[in-house]
Structure 1
């Protein structure tokens, strides 16, 4: 089209030139023709360049469309990868969560207790009034499998002033908030198939027969213990701190400690089992000191130590206690039957140095609609056992006590039990109290609502 226009223009120019040839020379006409030819060549060149530019533009447009298509594809792929990564992260999180959950075990219990106490001890020359109270106990424990052979345990429990023999909280104080303290904090290292090392504040690692009251179940000792189990044999050795002492070199700074060893066996007798155990513990650096909670010797004999204007009641005797235990477990029909006995003697004093107990338990309140009945008798002479360790219920938790403990329990469903315990005991069996009384009646009724999880 551009060439046609240019040709028309040239023709017109030539016609004009012919008409005015009379006014122009032949040289001028030649120059005009040369200029026109040059102009046509230039126009042809421009047209060729334009065609090339159009082709290049089309190529660039195609490349741009391809780039846009690639960009959309990459965006789609990125979205897919993000979704897949998120799903994989969720799966990894689930695996990690499941792995963590498989290593942690949470357990605990809640107990609501009604309690009545009848104490015939004279109080200021007047008989002590009967006492009625409701109490709660809550405990929460976490056990973590840190490695294949190391376990860590941490537990918390309600408490009143950190009492080592009780996790009960009385319902009193105008709805005041109740305290929760560290109950256990320990590690367990299974260093061999037959052995385990435990360190920290732990549950009692040794075996106790039946419902013996020689050790309060709430006492969680502190220190190190090594246990072993091989076939029918078992045993425990421990080293516990009672009081850590510091001071000048001129003072007595030996720590009061409790060292002990138990060795036992479980013998099969047909379908039944007989457990026999020998236990020894020694209270070191305790004689002449006051390793007491709240300054109370819990019935053990004391002397008065005077230093300046201060007088302190300290232990009169050492405690080197030999303890022999037996427990027989059998089935009477489909119901479990347990017979047990416990005897201990302190080797330091020459008198009032023996404790013994025996009991029976028929049935077991644990599974759905199961029940139990039990009875036991305890006699704990004044210096037979270290008073800080004995159960806090019989006779109010002091030595020089004897009495019966009757108990019954029923489990409507698993992990829920109703229990009743009645304790008929006498305090100051051998040594009169401050009011000159001996054989003082001390009775206690406990009705419990227990839930475990």
Structure 2
């Protein structure tokens, strides 16, 4: 193109020179040459710009193709990432679900019981109590949740008959009626140190009881606050429980009845054997002159007073109970053997203030085809213990009683226990009934079918 432009310019200049040669001067020819040179420079510049534009256009085209390829790649990667993220979300959900399940433990048990009771107590009119036969069920369901690394929360439900604090049994009666299910446990357990736990709410008994002692009914779940501590061979519990909360005009009878207690003990290794020793003290605060009972005084000495216009039986004594316990565990070959003793005295009562219990247990019914045999003797004088707490089966759950308890159990498989318990007791061993009876025979047979999970 450059050659064509130059040729055209030269031809034009020559033509103009031939037509006006007669008038052309050397200066005019020099001007023409300068114009030609300027024209050629412009042509060169335009050609260079044109070449640069072509190169830039080709570069832009290549960049566009590269961007298009990158766009296709990114779209493909985005689809892959979305799919991977969805899969990871599913996996995270599974992990979270497994983590939640790992923090929750569900336990429980169901017991079917046949029971026979022979009670020779006479009514006020002199008629003897009829023998009683009944079948009963007990069902309990508990959940414990690891809320944090240091705090566990427990909630439990159990069958109940009249909200009895000493029993979660339900008798099979009332023409197939529905059976009640009540709140049995509701507590937190905070491990505030390696050596201690703070427990609050409605809890299992946090202190230790020797062997098969029945100074406390096993179904009682106290309410309030407790601190457990343990270090090496030593252990202990301090607690503050609420029995009754009172409201109304401020008088000397509106103080809340409470139970304060402390237990300390040790576990001593003796070769392959072990010896547990413990001292336990509890004080029934604001109990004297009041009626902190679920259903009567259960054998404790009472006085009749008028409260709010009504004649009421109230406690004659406070209960400041000192309790000493011992338990020795050894082996007879491959069979566990246990000897234990429990003794208590109420520091406030004037008389009939002592309780004691001692027994043996051979074997342990827990694993597949294991068994146990146990026997013990127990005496609870009338005001030795706060009778609202003692076992509800021994002598029908009253103090001023004594007698034997014989037990046998067998586990056909793990978590399944069949056992029988026979109570051969006497009631009113020191204080006669209104009918003048002393040393009343009271026998009770229980055959249980227990399944745990």
- Structure 1 runs of 4+ off > 6 angstroms? 69-78
Which structure 2 residues correspond to residues 290-439 of structure 1 after superposition, within 5 A? Answer: 290-294=291-295, 296-307=296-307, 309-439=309-439
> Residue 94 of structure 1 aligns to a residue in which SS?
helix
> How many Å apart are 1:249 and its aligned residue?
2.5
Q: For structure 1, which segment, 209-218 or 96-105, has the greater mean C-alpha deviation from structure 2 after superposition?
A: 96-105
| 1:97 equivalenced with 2:97 (yes/no) | yes
TM-score by length of 2: 0.82
Q: Does 1:196 align with 2:197?
A: yes
SS at match of 1:126: coil
Instruction: State the partner residue of 1:216.
Output: 217
Partner of 1:130: 131
Deviations 1:72-117 (A, max 9, x none): 9888766655543332121011110111111111111111100000
By how many angstroms is 1:251 displaced?
5.6
Gaps in structure 2 of 5+ consecutive residues? 1-63
Q: Secondary structure at the match of 1:122?
A: coil
Residue number in structure 2 paired with 1:168: 169
- Whole-angstrom CA distance in 1 between matches of 2:307 and 2:445: 43
Counterpart contact for 2:116–2:445, Cα < 8 Å? yes
CA distance in 1, matches of 2:294, 2:113: 24
C-alpha change, 1:176 and 1:74, in structure 2 (3 Å) is: farther
State the partner residue of 1:27: none
Q: Which moved more, 1:358-367 or 1:239-248?
A: 239-248
Count matched residues: 388
Query: In the TM superposition, what are the counterparts of 1:63-212 in structure 2 within 5 Å?
Result: 80-123=80-123, 124-212=125-213
Q: Show CA shifts across 1:313-362 (max 9, x none).
A: 00000000000000000011000000000000001112100000000000
Give deviations 1:262-320, integer Å, cap 9, x for gaps: 110000111000000000000010000000003x1000000001246410000000000
Alpha-carbon distance between aligned partners in 2 of 1:148 and 1:307, rounded to the nearest angstrom: 50
CA–CA distance in structure 1, aligned partners of residues 446 and 116 of structure 2: 7
Partner residue of 2:249? 248
Q: C-alpha separation between the residues in 1 aligned to 2:263 and 2:310?
A: 40
Could you report, residue by residue, the CA deviation over 1:172-223 in whole angstroms, capped at 9, with x for unpaired residues?
1111111111111111111111111111111111110000000000001111
What is the distance in 1 between the residues matched to 2:251 and 2:437? 42
SS of 2:449's equivalent in the other structure is: strand
Q: Distance in 2 between matches of 1:125 and 1:78?
A: 93
What SS does structure 2 have at the residue aligned with 1:408? strand
1:400-442 per-position Cα deviation (integer Å, ceiling 9, x unaligned): 0101000000001111010000000010111111221111111
TM-score by length of 1: 0.82
* Distance verdict in 2 for CA 1:339–1:251, change over 3 Å: closer
Other-structure match for 1:282: 283
Residue 70 of structure 1, CA deviation:
10
Following the alignment from structure 1 to structure 2, what is the Cα–Cα distance between the partners of residues 378 and 250? 40
* Secondary structure of the structure 1 residue equivalent to 2:212: coil
Q: CA RMSD in A?
A: 1.9
The answer to which of 240-249 and 396-405 deviates more is 240-249
2:273 corresponds to 1:258: no
Contact in 1 for aligned 2:119/2:130 (Cα 8 Å): yes
- Aligned counterparts of 1:368 and 1:143: Cα–Cα separation in 2: 26
Relative distance call for 1:83 and 1:282 in structure 2 (3 A) is same
Structure 2: distance between partners of 1:116 and 1:246: 42
Q: Secondary structure at the match of 1:128?
A: coil
CA contact (8 A) 2:201 2:224 kept: yes
